[in-house]
Structure 1
Amino acid sequence: MIQHTDHFHGSDLEKIEAVYHIKKEDITSFSANVNPLGVSPKLRKTLAERIDAITSYPDREYTSLRKCIAAYADTDYQNIIVGNGSTELISLFIQIRHPKKALIIGPSYSEYEREISLGGGTSLYYPLKEEDDFQLDINDFREHLSENLDLLIICNPNNPTSTSIPSSHMRMILDSCKQHGIFIMIDETYVEFAPDFNDTTSVPLTNYYNNLIILRGISKFFAAPGLRLGYAITGNADLIKEINGRKNPWTINSLAEIAGELMFTDTEYINATRKLISAERDKIYSLLSKTEGLKVYKPTANFILVRILADNVTSRDLFEAAIKKGLMIRDCSTFPFLSDKYIRFCFMMPEKNDELIRCILDTLEAARHQTAGQ
């Protein structure tokens, strides 16, 4: 049994295997937030056919790849920086900006705070409130922005709450940040899953604000975390020059370059993903909204945050019940501002989603019977 303070990341299948004696191949990870369709058939075929590309160096400037990304993101390719996953770009950006004090909208991804700490900076959190269903109070938030801050970090849609900030509100935040000399980093890892994509992405705002950088990757939407391809979008030419000057050459391998040039034009896969996630998101939200003992928050990404209302059930209880069936959810007790009453899980294929929902409902029902029998 693991200690209460421990938790499993979506990629920790080896740890799960060791603790629960379940082969990692038999585990369905609802914790990793990766597209359940897996790698597209077109990408799989192309990479197999072009394996010899690894005998050559990729283009040092990645011009063709950046143009493909720019067409996909509807921006100028000169505003694109590519990196070895968005994690490398987060690290490079924070090293360059070297913020002494950063504000993070939380609960959120822990890597932001870690990178700021490594650079000697301090992180503060602006907590999203449960009573507001973790939706940002834009007016109250803007009052917390001041010259004392160097950097604002926003994950949009946010992990783990699956809530998002519309572009109209993001423009208001940018105006306030501009006034106070604050740079903004927006992590759009999950934006392609958003039902209102055009109203959620902040990429068009890079044409008007030079205090903005947006980060994306292919790990989640394109189900390719192992390829390690990420990209940043900014209209700040000086920042682009500085990041490219500090970056190691050829951080993206030849196969990842080929994959990127293909996947951003794979409209059949893109449309199939959005159709699947939209249908499962609506189905699961509707079902769990009516479930006694749970509270759910309207999701905009490919995962959902759930609060357990039953007194005698914790996030650890649901994690244990699910993993025994080979289903891995996220115990959210280690996220800032959450507790052992919150779980998060992503949307997988319909039959697996149904299996997980049955497991959750059965566990809650068993707990109700236990309470009634006391």
Structure 2
Amino acid sequence: MAAFHGSDLEKIEQIYGIKKEEITGFGANVNPLGLSPFMKDYLAAHLDVLCAYPDRNYTALRRAIADYTGADAENIMVGNGSTELISAAIQAIHPHAAVVLGPAYSEYERELTLAGSVLHYYDLCAEKDFVLDVEDLERFIMEHADGAKAAGGKLRLPGLLVLCNPNNPTSSAVPASQMRLLLSFCRENNIFVMTDETYAEFAPSVSEITSIPLAGEYDNLLVLRGVSKFWSAPGLRLGYAVTSNGELRGRIDAAKNPWTVSSLADAAGQIMFTDKEYIERTRSLIGKERERCIQTLAAIPELKVYPAYANFVLARSLNPEITARTLFEAAIRRKMMIRDCSDFHSLNDSYFRFCFMLPEDNTRLLTCIRELFA
């Protein structure tokens, strides 16, 4: 049986006979606080925005994102979730070949395949806790020149590097200092870098890992974010991208359909990033639960727990009789859904991932896991 995605609650309901409303979703990586009360009240009071088209240029929305991120509003694009922007960016860059840091979110591979790109996976090493070795990655990229000559007589290297930071599913992260080195190397070799920061706002220190401040300096960089995970609003379908490359922005805007961000998402985005109370509550909750869950798992001798920067943790069973499927089955019978990571590139059936929920829910899951390894 294939591993279930965090959004496959309908399938779970059919197969296991458990109502999806009763399942605690440890596989979706969504903020357990749900929509903020501030957002709910605001949207309820502004439903009339649905009667009008949004501003075609989303000027106020981009300004709000600029205030939140520190990016230049001119360098910001918005889309129907980060997924639309991933697709639009890959189609606009249209690399003949690309390197993807693995294991990785499957959407990158899908979009690169649709673009006709040759895909090379650079697999992060489990023995090194999935920490990126920038120099080794640079060697890997140089080794994957396709033999053809590019302009100037140089070897034609992959045209795009894709990474998620913090990475899904490993929860490892690349510090901004290392990203700077990587971006310099890629710029020298005409390689565009697309970094997905879906989980950056959950990191212990956002400023230490975000590449948004680098976007003004490096025109070969595109940084992606969305509101699905941190802001607990996957149904809002709002994402944004930051790049100082005006030519790329123009190609993406020319290819995108107009008004892909709804009036409601436009209105929500103009105020949601100002909700400092929600931001602080989320970061406090995730920070405390991340530390508690990792300490609890690390005390189990037959588990290997990897360092976590996002709102989820990757772990590996060292007991061959207890696989990720075993853990999934035990948890789902108790109405908790974790992520069996056996279908991620370079991982096997010993790896599993779960996100941090409310304290009482995390305690239930930790108890389930401890009992299996007792």
Give the TM-score range, shorter chain: over 0.9
2:175 maps to a residue whose letter is P
C-alpha RMSD of matched pairs (Å): 0.8
Question: Which residue matches 1:260?
Answer: 269
Match of 1:10 in 2: 6
1:306 partner letter: A
Cα drift, residue 58 of structure 1: 0.8
* Secondary structure of residue in 1 paired with 2:248: helix
Matched, 1:32 2:28: yes
Point out where structure 1 has 5 or more consecutive residues left out of the alignment.
366-374
Match of 1:195 in 2: 204
The 5 Å alignment of 1:170-181 reads 170-181=179-190
2:99 touches 2:158 (CA, 8 Å); kept in 1? yes
Q: Establish whether residue 352 from structure 1 lines up as the match of residue 361 from structure 2.
A: yes
- TM-score, normalization by structure 1: 0.95
Offset of residue 104 of structure 1: 0.4
**Equivalent AA in structure 1 for residue 76 of structure 2:** I
1:248 is aligned to 2:244: no
Q: Which residue number in structure 2 is paired with residue 236 of structure 1?
A: 245
Residue 122 of structure 1, CA deviation? 1.5
Q: Does 1:294 align with 2:294?
A: no
Give a deviation string over 1:264-321, Cα, whole Å, max 9, x none: 1100001100000000001111111111210100100000000001121100000000
2:121 maps to 1:125: yes
After TM superposition, list the pairs within 5 Å mapping 1:316-335 onto structure 2: 316-335=325-344
Counterparts of 1:325 and 1:258 in 2: how far apart (Å)?
A: 39
State the partner residue of 2:195. Answer: 186
The size of the alignment, in residue pairs, is 361
Question: Paired residue for 2:15?
Answer: 19
CA shift, 1:241, in A, is 1.6
- The alpha carbon displacement at 1:141 in A equals 1.4
Alignment of 1:95-110 (within 5 A): 95-110=91-106
Q: Unaligned regions of 5+ residues in structure 2, if any?
A: 143-155
**Which of 205, 224, 236 is residue 233 of structure 2 equivalent to?**
224
What is the aligned counterpart of 1:51 among 31, 47, 50?
47
Greater mean deviation of Cα atoms: 327-336 or 48-57: 48-57
CA distance in 2, matches of 1:123, 1:28: 35
The CA deviation at 1:145 is 2.2
Q: Whole-Å Cα distance in 1 between the matches of residues 48 and 195 of structure 2?
A: 36
User: Are residues 1:169 and 2:169 paired?
Assistant: no
Q: Percent identity?
A: 54
1:160 to 164, 169, 173: 169
After TM superposition, give the deviation of residue 138 of structure 1 in Å.
Answer: 1.9
Check conservation: 2:296, 2:366, Cα contact below 8 A.
Answer: no
User: Are the aligned partners of 1:145 and 1:177 in contact in 2 as well (CA < 8 Å)?
Assistant: no
Q: Distance in 2 between matches of 1:89 and 1:311?
A: 40
Structure 2 length-normalised TM: 0.95
Moved more, 243-252 or 187-196: 243-252
Letter in 2 for 1:233: V
1:134-189: per-residue Cα shift (whole Å, max 9, x none)? Answer: 11112211212234211000100000000000011001101111111110000000
Residue type at the aligned position of 1:307: R
| 1:60 has 2:56 as partner | yes
